[in-house]
Structure 1
Amino acid sequence: MTGGLRLGYKASAEQFTPTELLKFTVLAEDVGFDSVFISDHLQPWRHEGGHAPAALPWLGAAAARTQHVTLGTSVLTPTFRYHPGVIAQAFATLGSMFPGRIILGTGTGEALNEVTLGLEWPAPPERFQRLKESLQLIDALWSGERVTFDGAFYSTKNATIFDLPAKRVPIYIGASGPAATRLAGRIADGFITTSGKARELYTDTLLPALATGLGSAGRRPQDVDTLIEVKVSFAADRIAAMQKTRFWAALALSPEEKTGLDDPREMQRRADALPIERAASRFIVSTDVDEHVEAILTYARMGFRHLVFHDPGQDQETFLRFYGAEILPRLRTAGH
């Protein structure tokens, strides 16, 4: 583990109102977090008690309410609900207004967000190709004027993005498999994945795939930020720490159990049927600060340099103040 760690906060759009998320983001900056990332869902994971604010207007509001914290999407899908040209324009605008503070995090998407609008949900290979092409188009629109693009899925005719930032907005790619991870290594500024899965997925599949992508493009490891959403649940009592994860039980569903689901009610039903032990399985569940920090550092030792923390509880203010006072300083000391 070399160099300093970047430490971020996951603003849980699925769980809180946009106004609440703004309040938490301001506090996250105040207590010492470096970044805040928000997901972009049309529908939440849960029909009852869930939320799904639009990420684009929220990012502008959050940037206006803060001073220096980096803000990004984790992740947005620039291939179905949005034409890539719209995303190119939106993030160019955000980057112009808040230079050096905006990240476009992208991914191949979920049926939950797209099918409800009448869109066909293609197989993974097509979703991957759509993501790849959409990023090519965004890059073209950020690089030149009068862009005519004729792709397999998207096209433009003499399109120009006028309000470009002085410094290009970084593009990150979220991935849980090797193909998209290799793509991140080849073309992206950052790679995003999530914690709580088998260690071998990271050490034997994803990080080697990232290295392969870097090597094929003649890039260095430091050219790509390695970001992982670390799911954490800390409490003085272990049962309480486990119970906090109940809202997020859908994360523990297997790909076979949730792939293609487009109804939040069914997603909620399947998640609620899980025992609490399985619901908590994606989280670092801890009652001891030292053990908590050590468990987090396993991801830094694997090679992740940007840790974004997702706490599943309702009391985000207590979580943020606790992390600012007790966890972030220890991680920064260990990361140097």
Structure 2
Amino acid sequence: MRIGYKASAEQFGARELLEFSVEAEHRGLDMIAVSDHFQPWRHHGGHAPNALTWLGALGGATRHAVLATSVLTPTLRYHPSIVAQAFGTLGALNPGRVVLGIGSGEAMNETPATGAEFPGPKERRLRLAESITLMRRLWTEERVDFEGTYYRTEKATVYDRPDQPVPIYVAASGPLAAKLAGRVGDGFICTSGKDPELYRTLLANVAEGATAAGRDPGALRRMIEIKVSYDRDIEQARTNCHWWAALALTSEQKTGVEDPLEMERLADANVDRAHTRFIVSDDPGDVIERIGSYLDLGFTDLVLHGPGGDQHRFLEQFTADVLPGLRARAALARAAAAVGSPA
């Protein structure tokens, strides 16, 4: 079980984000996961540092935390061979503590950077699967000639790479992407705050995809970003969610939106719903039990996304008030899983 920190690159600049992440490791968190956005959810006050550059700085500033993207899209504004080179370097610099979390992309990150049309869901999944095949070949072979549907290489070699290929976790919010994660990923990523039945379905599809590919579903990591606004002041906990109102928009509202100004407008029009995607509480026991429901579902990596502008406050309060009990709750979930009974 790993408990990590979500470095909110959409909300904070690169230096400030690095400071928060170093503090997260110092306070006992096991993983730092950063998003890789070309544009943030909000135009005014938003940020979008490049994750590849930033992770290099984070690796030098930390000692043991796992460094991950949650998530990066290796298919549109990046060619997968460039991602393979970048993560080969990161893995060589930080052996055993780099994870490449990938997803099929969002229009607001891909279209403005290139001007290219944003593909439909099927093409994005096919691109993702092909990119995984190519990146793994580049991490394990030399002089790679690759002729795919979407990508080509000619005598390509990644010269600096770790002894073991970097694990790839695949993000999924629907059944077909979850099957892809099980079929070809080393792990699966999703986000909290939705109907519990959805997670049961997604995890079942991950297992189905793994089994169909002759793989052991139990060997895959299952990572979830837990959106949690904990504060000893409950009103502060609620207010902290407002910056992230875009997360509470429906998929229909967000799909195809390419402009941070428009996303900001939609979010501000729905700010009263901002808290609905978060665990909002001033009670440590309540937070532990609500996060515990994800442990009971079988998730192995919990990445905590605190929405407030004062991340020092969040980290200090959460690690003091909640983290010890959460680790104890995780131990109970592991014990229950070991004997095959509910936690």
Say whether the fold is shared (TM-score over 0.5): yes
Greater shift in the superposed pair: 304-313 or 159-168? 159-168
The structural deviation recorded for 1:326 is: 2.1
1:264 to 260, 269, 274: 260
Matched with 1:33 is 29
Q: Aligned pair 1:207/2:203, yes or no? A: yes
What is the alpha-carbon distance in structure 2 between the residues aligned to residue 198 and residue 23 of structure 1? 34
The structural deviation recorded for 1:142 is: 1.1
Letter in 1 for 2:152: S
Task: Give the aligned CA root-mean-square deviation in angstroms.
Answer: 1.0
Greater shift in the superposed pair: 326-335 or 291-300? 326-335
Letter in 2 for 1:74: S
1:235 to 231, 235, 256: 231
Q: Aligned pair 1:185/2:182, yes or no? A: yes
What is the alpha-carbon distance in structure 2 between the residues aligned to residue 235 and residue 32 of structure 1? 19
Matched with 1:75 is 71
Matched with 2:303 is 308
Q: Aligned pair 1:121/2:118, yes or no? A: yes
2:166 to 162, 165, 169: 169
What is the alpha-carbon distance in structure 2 between the residues aligned to residue 87 and residue 275 of structure 1? 36
Letter in 2 for 1:10: K
Structure having greater relative contact order (Cα 8 Å, sep ≥ 6): 1
Secondary structure, aligned partner of 1:335: helix
2:98 to 102, 109, 120: 102
TM-score, L = length of structure 2 = 0.94
The structural deviation recorded for 1:167 is: 1.7
What is the alpha-carbon distance in structure 1 between the residues aligned to residue 132 and residue 110 of structure 2? 19
Letter in 2 for 1:45: W
Secondary structure, aligned partner of 1:115: helix
Q: Aligned pair 1:292/2:287, yes or no? A: yes
What is the alpha-carbon distance in structure 2 between the residues aligned to residue 23 and residue 160 of structure 1? 35
Matched with 2:8 is 12
The structural deviation recorded for 1:275 is: 4.2
TM-score, L = length of structure 1 = 0.96
What is the alpha-carbon distance in structure 2 between the residues aligned to residue 164 and residue 94 of structure 1? 8
Query: In the comparison of the two structures, how many residue pairs are matched?
Result: 330
What is the alpha-carbon distance in structure 1 between the residues aligned to residue 168 and residue 284 of structure 2? 34
What is the alpha-carbon distance in structure 2 between the residues aligned to residue 279 and residue 299 of structure 1? 21
The structural deviation recorded for 1:323 is: 2.1
What is the alpha-carbon distance in structure 2 between the residues aligned to residue 26 and residue 222 of structure 1? 31
Deviation string, structure 1 residues 286-320 (Cα, Å, up to 9, x no partner): 12111111111011111111100000001101111
Deviation string, structure 1 residues 98-150 (Cα, Å, up to 9, x no partner): 10111111000000011112111111111111111111110111121111000
Give the fraction of aligned pairs with identical amino acids, expressed as a percent: 54
Secondary structure, aligned partner of 2:145: strand
2:139 to 139, 142, 148: 142
Q: Does the C-alpha gap of structure 1 residues 219 and 314 become closer, same or farther in structure 2, counting only changes over 3 Å?
A: same
Secondary structure, aligned partner of 2:12: coil
Secondary structure, aligned partner of 1:176: coil
Deviation string, structure 1 residues 79-101 (Cα, Å, up to 9, x no partner): 01111000000000110111011
The structural deviation recorded for 1:240 is: 2.5
Conserved 8 A contact 2:175-2:205: yes
The structural deviation recorded for 1:327 is: 1.6
Q: Does the C-alpha gap of structure 1 residues 330 and 221 become closer, same or farther in structure 2, counting only changes over 3 Å?
A: farther
Q: Aligned pair 1:283/2:278, yes or no? A: yes
The structural deviation recorded for 1:239 is: 3.0
Matched with 2:337 is none
Conserved 8 A contact 2:74-2:102: yes
Secondary structure, aligned partner of 1:121: coil
Unaligned runs of 5+ in 2: 332-343
Q: Aligned pair 1:133/2:164, yes or no? A: no
What is the alpha-carbon distance in structure 2 between the residues aligned to residue 208 and residue 127 of structure 1? 22
Matched with 1:335 is 330
Deviation string, structure 1 residues 7-53 (Cα, Å, up to 9, x no partner): 00000000000001110111001000000000000000000110000
Secondary structure, aligned partner of 1:281: helix
Q: Does the C-alpha gap of structure 1 residues 44 and 329 become closer, same or farther in structure 2, counting only changes over 3 Å?
A: same
Unaligned runs of 5+ in 1: none
Letter in 1 for 2:235: I
Secondary structure, aligned partner of 1:75: coil
The structural deviation recorded for 1:199 is: 1.2
